[in-house]
């Protein structure tokens, strides 16, 4: 009897609408992240509803935008503090407040020093070509002194920089691009004008500022969709992106090196890079992206946060398609002896239950570098390399083997018939070979058109606002809200309005 009475009370509670004051308080907390003011309480109508004008004001406010950003930060785990984006070839340390590069060899001379020593604390003398004149010290090392330089990260000041590092040559007399990976080997090359292609040690902020702007780039993308009432689907398929000063400087100068995070090939045409200085960190300019880019899912903030293709696919499936990858209830069966040598996880007992779905989706990111944010161009790196195939089959060739391996081609003998294939394509079936070339935009377009992504967006937003999972009683309501979302051209603000003004929301406990 007690259980029946409690069930009756719960059922009654579920059918009961919140009072006007409680409803106002609930929406204010969910939409704005704060309690209502006295003036807002006084606007509650006779029907105990929220006046349309007040809700309009709330949904157009900065507080609401911040709530939406916070929610999406949870979906995307948008936090790259762990990423060590640093140009290690052109990384500058300091000694006695003089900037220098340890890894350069010019000052070592004939000495046995492990690292390049710093220069002395005296002003350098230059020759007729503007190159530093160095003196030879007793141990055979060189010392050229410093020059005063205005660094790009703080034009309001000047810093002492060892004269070798302060050279401004952009292209050496031998034709080397000084900011590119081969630059440091040329004695004419170094940090360039205003130290443009060098990064100071961590305490000077450049490293943190660029990494923080990877996160902010995603936030700005979401904010633009909200404030300009663009379709929410541009989160997935947007053919544009936003750049500010630090990111523009990074793509112009700091990505042409072989170490660290791979960022050399950006998701846009370099000819369209905006004219921004490093200091313009709050100025965001919209430019077209390359066709293979896909909204925020080809940006560093996503690609570096989920740095393998499978991890990227899993995050999309779980948070934007509501598909959770789980092993069979009985657990994974034991592999057979033949399976131990099978690299295709879709063919292994038990693994297929996840990888059968995961791996084809992951392949759409196959030409975005893992542990990086660079697009791997098809023209430079075709799906199959005859050269690497021959290197793999003709026996070990140290230089050729290393080159192919570094470029992403399979050369190890255990790959068998797959040697010579680029790793982005090697494990794909014939019908999937074009997935990496087209990129994730095709995948998103398909799953927006079939309604899977819109339905999941509605489900996730509803769960967040209702404070509970949806159940069978919500099926018809969810379908109606999803239909409205699609008919409203995927307007996310209107989706939130539809949820918080629904009876489903007003009956939540």
Is residue 6 over pLDDT 50?
no
The continuous run of DSSP H or E covering 27 comes out as helix 20-32
Distance, CA of 244 to CA of 111 (rounded, Å): 44
Residue 375 lies in a domain: no
Task: Provide the pLDDT confidence category of residue 113 given band limits of 50, 70 and 90.
Answer: confident
Residue 42 lies in a domain: yes
Task: Provide the pLDDT confidence category of residue 13 given band limits of 50, 70 and 90.
Answer: very low
What pLDDT, on the 0 to 100 scale, is given for residue 416?
Answer: 87
Is residue 509 over pLDDT 90?
no
Q: What is the pLDDT of residues 306-332, one digit of tens each?
A: 999 999 999 999 999 999 988 777 777
How much is the average pLDDT of 421-425? 95
Could you tell me the residue range of the domain that residue 44 belongs to? Answer: 2-76
Residue 40 lies in a domain: yes
What pLDDT, on the 0 to 100 scale, is given for residue 3?
Answer: 41
What pLDDT, on the 0 to 100 scale, is given for residue 339?
Answer: 60
Is residue 70 over pLDDT 90?
yes
Is residue 1 over pLDDT 90?
no
Residue 29 lies in a domain: yes
Task: Provide the pLDDT confidence category of residue 16 given band limits of 50, 70 and 90.
Answer: confident
Q: What is the pLDDT of residues 183-203, one digit of tens each?
A: 877 888 999 999 999 999 877
Residue 60 lies in a domain: yes
Task: Provide the pLDDT confidence category of residue 366 given band limits of 50, 70 and 90.
Answer: very high
- Report angle CA 98, 99, 104 to the nearest 5 degrees: 125
Q: What is the pLDDT of residues 481-503, one digit of tens each?
A: 999 999 999 999 999 999 999 99
Task: Provide the pLDDT confidence category of residue 10 given band limits of 50, 70 and 90.
Answer: very low
Residue 66 lies in a domain: yes
Helix, strand or coil, per DSSP, at residue 198: coil
Nearest CA-CA partner of 145 in 116, 165, 129 = 165
Distance, CA of 406 to CA of 365 (rounded, Å): 18
Is residue 251 over pLDDT 50?
yes
Is residue 4 over pLDDT 50?
no
Nearest CA-CA partner of 251 in 197, 292, 207, 297 = 197
Count of domains observed in the chain: 1
What pLDDT, on the 0 to 100 scale, is given for residue 2?
Answer: 34
DSSP string, 321-368: S-------TT-PPPPPTGGGG---GGGSTTTHHHHHHHHHHHGGGTTB
The strand pair at 146-149 and 159-162 is best described as antiparallel
Distance, CA of 120 to CA of 211 (rounded, Å): 33
What pLDDT, on the 0 to 100 scale, is given for residue 8?
Answer: 35
Q: What is the pLDDT of residues 21-37, one digit of tens each?
A: 999 999 999 999 999 99
Task: Provide the pLDDT confidence category of residue 86 given band limits of 50, 70 and 90.
Answer: low
Q: What is the pLDDT of residues 341-358, one digit of tens each?
A: 556 788 777 777 888 899
Residue 179 lies in a domain: no
Residue 397 lies in a domain: no
What pLDDT, on the 0 to 100 scale, is given for residue 444?
Answer: 98
Chain-wide mean pLDDT for the chain?
A: 90
Helix, strand or coil, per DSSP, at residue 474: helix
Contacts of 464 (CB under 8 A, 6+ apart): 71
How much is the average pLDDT of 390-408? 83
């Amino acid at each position: 009897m007690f259980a029946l009475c409690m069930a009756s009370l719960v059922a009654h509670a579920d059918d009961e609408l919140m009072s006007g004051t409680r409803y106002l308080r609930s929406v204010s907390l969910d939409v704005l992240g704060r309690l209502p003011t006295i003036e807002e309480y006084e606007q509650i109508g006779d029907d105990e509803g929220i006046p349309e004008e007040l809700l309009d004001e709330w949904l157009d406010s900065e507080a609401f935008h911040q709530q939406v950003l916070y929610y999406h930060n949870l979906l995307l785990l948008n936090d790259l503090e762990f990423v060590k984006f640093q140009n290690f070839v052109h990384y500058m340390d300091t000694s006695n407040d003089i900037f220098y590069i340890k890894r350069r060899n010019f000052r070592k001379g004939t000495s046995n020093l492990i690292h390049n020593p710093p220069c002395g604390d005296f002003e350098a003398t230059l020759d007729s070509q503007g190159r530093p004149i160095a003196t030879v010290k007793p141990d055979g090392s060189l010392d050229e002194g410093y020059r005063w330089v205005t660094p790009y990260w703080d034009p309001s000041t000047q810093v002492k920089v060892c004269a070798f590092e302060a050279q401004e040559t952009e292209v050496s007399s031998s034709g080397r691009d000084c900011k590119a990976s081969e630059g440091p080997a040329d004695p004419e090359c170094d940090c360039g004008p205003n130290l443009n292609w060098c990064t100071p040690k961590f305490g000077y902020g450049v490293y943190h500022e660029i990494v923080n702007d990877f996160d902010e780039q995603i936030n700005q993308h979401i904010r633009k969709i909200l404030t300009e009432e663009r379709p929410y689907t541009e989160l997935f398929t947007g053919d544009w992106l936003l750049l500010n000063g630090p990111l523009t400087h990074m793509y112009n100068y700091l990505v042409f090196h072989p170490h660290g995070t791979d960022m050399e090939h950006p998701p846009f045409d370099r000819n369209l890079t905006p004219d921004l200085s490093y200091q313009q960190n709050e100025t965001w300019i919209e430019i077209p992206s390359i066709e293979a880019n896909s909204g925020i899912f080809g940006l560093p903030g996503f690609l570096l946060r989920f740095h393998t293709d499978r991890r990227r696919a899993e995050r999309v499936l779980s948070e934007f398609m509501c598909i959770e990858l789980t092993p069979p209830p009985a657990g994974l069966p034991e592999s057979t002896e033949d399976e131990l040598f099978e690299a295709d996880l879709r063919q292994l007992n038990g693994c297929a239950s996840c990888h059968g779905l995961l791996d084809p989706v992951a392949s759409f990111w196959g030409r975005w570098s893992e542990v990086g944010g660079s697009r791997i161009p098809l023209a430079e790196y075709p799906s199959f390399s005859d050269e690497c195939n021959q290197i793999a089959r003709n026996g070990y060739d140290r230089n050729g083997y290393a080159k192919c391996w570094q470029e992403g081609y399979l050369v190890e003998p255990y790959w068998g018939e797959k040697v010579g294939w680029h790793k982005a394509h090697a494990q794909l079936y014939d019908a999937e070979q074009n997935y990496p070339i087209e990129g994730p935009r095709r995948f998103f377009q398909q799953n927006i058109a079939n309604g899977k992504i819109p339905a999941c967006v509605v489900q996730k937003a509803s769960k967040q606002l209702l404070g509970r999972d949806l159940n069978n009683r919500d099926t018809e309501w969810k379908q109606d809200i999803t239909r409205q979302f699609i008919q409203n051209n995927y307007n996310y603000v209107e989706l939130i309005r539809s949820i918080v003004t629904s009876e489903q929301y007003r009956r939540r406990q």
